Structure 1
């Protein structure tokens, strides 16, 4: 395996009264794409929360290759239709970690925002409210926000599930490119076709790591259909 971006050793994590991950040990290879697959409730989103630092581990160790803050792209369904932000404002939020909440964006910040809006094909939607967008358009805006953070670790929760072909292709092409340019990408997904295109795969079941390795090895077991919804 390549050098690790993140190493998890005997990690436990969860929520008050509801433990999820237990004794979880795995490696996230650097400069590669990793798919996290498993049924609903298997711990995929919890693992992303631990990797992002949003959810602290209650036991074990989480060792990152760098101290840089990861970028975390949530599911589009996590954003309310009434959330009063335009597409440009949404993507611009990705620069807050560099600039701060109250400081004006620099010319470089605006250039980064413009670049990722163009790359995701949403420049023409800049002035639209998020709640007015289709699911694919909204997801592309959220991915652009994550990429605008220029983090070396990009975490995505179901980035392509339920999208039309054009949105899936746009997001997949950009993720492939940033990985080539040195970004580590981890995506939790129910989309097995997307998972099979990644470099590395973690198969979760009931908060445990059931299998880890190349997708061709991990996603061929006879019981896979019973592990992934």
Structure 2
């Protein structure tokens, strides 16, 4: 396996009154893509929250070999249809970590925002409200926001699940491109086809890591059947 971008050892994390991850240990290889796979409630989103720093670990250690803060792209369903943001404003938020909330964007910031909107095929939607967009268009705007942060660790929660073929292809092509340029990508997903295209895979159940390694070794029919049978019993 390649050098690790992030190493987790005996990590515990969750929410008030509810522990989700317990004794969790895994490695995220650098300069590639890692899929986090598991049934609903297995801890995928919590793991991304821990990796991003949004959710603090209550035990264990997390060693990051990243420059600056990771970029975290939430599920498109996490953004309300009535939230008053245009596509440009949404993508521009990706520059706040660099510029600060109240400081005006520089010419470079605007160039970064324009570039990612163009590369994800949403430049013509710049003035549209998020609530007016299709699911695929909204997801591309959120991915562009994450990429506009120019972080070397990009975390995505269900970036392609439920999207049409054109939106999936646009996002997949851009993620492939950034990994070749030195970005480490981690995506939680139910999309097994997308997971099988990644370099590394973590298979979760009930806050535990069942296995990790190349997708062909981890995402076997037997392993997936066991995970979903376990989930149905809970």
Using the size of structure 1 for normalisation, the TM-score is 0.97
Contact 2:66/2:153 (CA < 8 Å) preserved in 1? no
Structure 1: which 5+ runs fail to align? none
RMSD over aligned CA atoms reads 0.8
Give the aligned partner of residue 224 of structure 2: 225
What whole-Å deviation, never above 9, does each CA across 1:103-139 have from its counterpart, x for those lacking one? Answer: 1100000000000000000000000000000000000
1:61 Cα offset (Å): 0.2
| Cα distance change of structure 1 residues 38 and 107 upon mapping to structure 2, 3 Å threshold | same
| Cα distance change of structure 1 residues 227 and 44 upon mapping to structure 2, 3 Å threshold | farther
1:171 Cα offset (Å): 0.1
Contact 2:67/2:151 (CA < 8 Å) preserved in 1? no
1:227 Cα offset (Å): 5.2
Within-5 A mapping of 1:19-58:
19-58=19-58
The runs of at least 4 aligned residues of structure 1 exceeding 4 Å deviation read: none
Contact 2:92/2:145 (CA < 8 Å) preserved in 1? yes
| Cα distance change of structure 1 residues 161 and 3 upon mapping to structure 2, 3 Å threshold | same
Distance in 2, matches of 1:226 and 1:136, equals 29
Instruction: Give the secondary-structure state (helix, strand or coil) at the position aligned to 1:35.
Output: strand
1:68 Cα offset (Å): 1.1
Using the size of structure 2 for normalisation, the TM-score is 0.95
Distance in 2, matches of 1:198 and 1:111, equals 30
Contact 1:205/1:227 (CA < 8 Å) preserved in 2? no
1:67 Cα offset (Å): 4.7
Structure 2: which 5+ runs fail to align? 228-234
What whole-Å deviation, never above 9, does each CA across 1:136-188 have from its counterpart, x for those lacking one? Answer: 00000000000000000000000000000000000000000000000000000
1:58 Cα offset (Å): 0.5
Instruction: Give the secondary-structure state (helix, strand or coil) at the position aligned to 1:140.
Output: helix
Distance in 1, matches of 2:78 and 2:216, equals 31
Within-5 A mapping of 1:34-113:
34-113=34-113
1:224 Cα offset (Å): 3.3
Give the aligned partner of residue 169 of structure 1: 169
Contact 1:12/1:58 (CA < 8 Å) preserved in 2? yes
1:16 Cα offset (Å): 1.0
Distance in 1, matches of 2:41 and 2:226, equals 11
Q: How many residues align?
A: 226
Give the aligned partner of residue 216 of structure 1: 216
Contact 1:94/1:149 (CA < 8 Å) preserved in 2? yes
Contact 2:6/2:64 (CA < 8 Å) preserved in 1? yes
| Cα distance change of structure 1 residues 227 and 38 upon mapping to structure 2, 3 Å threshold | farther
Instruction: Give the secondary-structure state (helix, strand or coil) at the position aligned to 1:69.
Output: coil
What whole-Å deviation, never above 9, does each CA across 1:45-95 have from its counterpart, x for those lacking one? Answer: 000000000000000001000351000000000000000000000000000
1:43 Cα offset (Å): 0.3
Contact 1:38/1:227 (CA < 8 Å) preserved in 2? no
Distance in 2, matches of 1:225 and 1:218, equals 9
